[in-house]
Amino acid sequence: MAENAPADFYRTQENPGLWEHRGKVAAVGIGHSPTARRWDGQASTSIGAWAMVAIRNAIEDAGISPSDVDGLVLDRSTTTGAWWPEGDPLPEDVISQFQPGIEPFDGIAALSSEWILNNMPELDNVSFSMYGPGCMSNVICVAAEAIGRGLANTVVLLKAWHNFPGRYYQGGANARPLVEGPAVWRNPWGVSAATGDGWTFQEYMAKYGKTHDMMAPFIVEEKKNGLMFPEGFFAQHRPDEVTVEDYVNARWIVEPMNLFDHDMPIHVAVAYVFTTAERAADMAQTPVYILNHGTTRPKFGLTQGLDNAEASTDSTGRKMLDGAGITSDDLSFENMYEGFTTFHNYFIEGLGFAGIQRGEALDLYAGDISITSDKPVSPSGGNQGGGRTRIWMHTDTIQQIQGRAGDRQIRVPAEIGISGGPMPQGGDFTIWSSTPD
Partner 1 sequence: MPKQSPVPDELTQPFFDACNEDRLVVQRCNECTELDGLLMLQHPPSEECRRCGPHGTLEWHEVSGRGRIQSYVTMYDTPVASLQEDQPFNIAVVELWEDKNALFLSHLPGTPVREVPMGAEVRVVFEVTPANGQKVAEWEVVGD
Residues within the interface to partner 1 (CB under 8 A): 168-170, 174-182, 184-192, 195, 198-200, 202-203, 206, 251-257, 301-303, 305-306
**Of 10, 16, 23, which Cα lies nearest the Cα of 318?**
16
Closer by beta carbon to partner 1, 169 or else 403? 169
Enter the DSSP assignment of 430.
Answer: E
Cα dihedral 47, 49, 53, 59 sign: positive
Residue 208, SS3 per DSSP = helix
**How many angstroms separate the CA atoms of 198 and 192, rounded?**
10
Least Å from the CB of residue 251 to partner 1: 7
C-beta of 200: minimal distance to partner 1 in Å? 7
Taking the complex as a whole, the smallest distance from the CB of residue 309 to partner 1 amounts, in Å, to 12
Bridge partners, residue 290, by sequence: 432
- Residue 422 preceded by cis peptide, ω within 30: yes
- The amino acid that residue 38 corresponds to is R
The residue among 170 and 357 lying less far from partner 1, judged by its C-beta, is 170
DSSP conformational letter for 145: H
- Tell me how far, at minimum, the Cβ of 252 lies from partner 1, in Å: 5
- Residue 83 or 168: the one with the smaller Cβ distance to partner 1 is 168
CB-based contact 78:110 (threshold 8 Å): yes
Least Å distance, CB 311 to partner 1, is 14
Phi, psi of 19 (to 5 degrees): -65, 130
Least distance (Å) between residue 303 CB and partner 1: 5
Between 308 and 389, CB nearer to partner 1: 308
- Name the residue nearer to partner 1 (CB basis): 119 or 200: 200
- C-beta closer to partner 1: residue 12 or 236: 12
Shortest distance in whole angstroms from residue 193 CB to partner 1: 8
Q: Taking the complex as a whole, how short is the minimal distance between the CB of residue 249 and partner 1, in angstroms?
A: 14
Smallest distance, partner 1 to C-beta of residue 389, A: 22
Q: How far is CA 363 from CA 207, 262, 289, in A?
A: 14, 21, 32
- Contact at 8 Å (CB) between 135 and 159? yes
H or E element in which residue 321 lies? helix 305-324
What are the C-alpha distances in Å from 418 to residues 2, 187, 336, 424?
A: 29, 36, 7, 14
Which CB, 47 or 254, lies closer to partner 1? Answer: 254
Q: Which is nearer to partner 1, 124 or 255 (CB)?
A: 255
Q: What is the DSSP string of 89-142?
A: PP-HHHHTTS---SSTTBTTTB--HHHHHHH-TT-TT--EEEE--SSHHHHHHH
Kindly report whether the peptide bond that precedes residue 256 is cis, defined as omega within 30 degrees of 0: yes
How many C-beta neighbours within 10 Å does residue 327 have?
10
Phi then psi dihedrals of residue 317, to 5 deg: -60, -50
* CB closer to partner 1 out of 249 and 251: 251
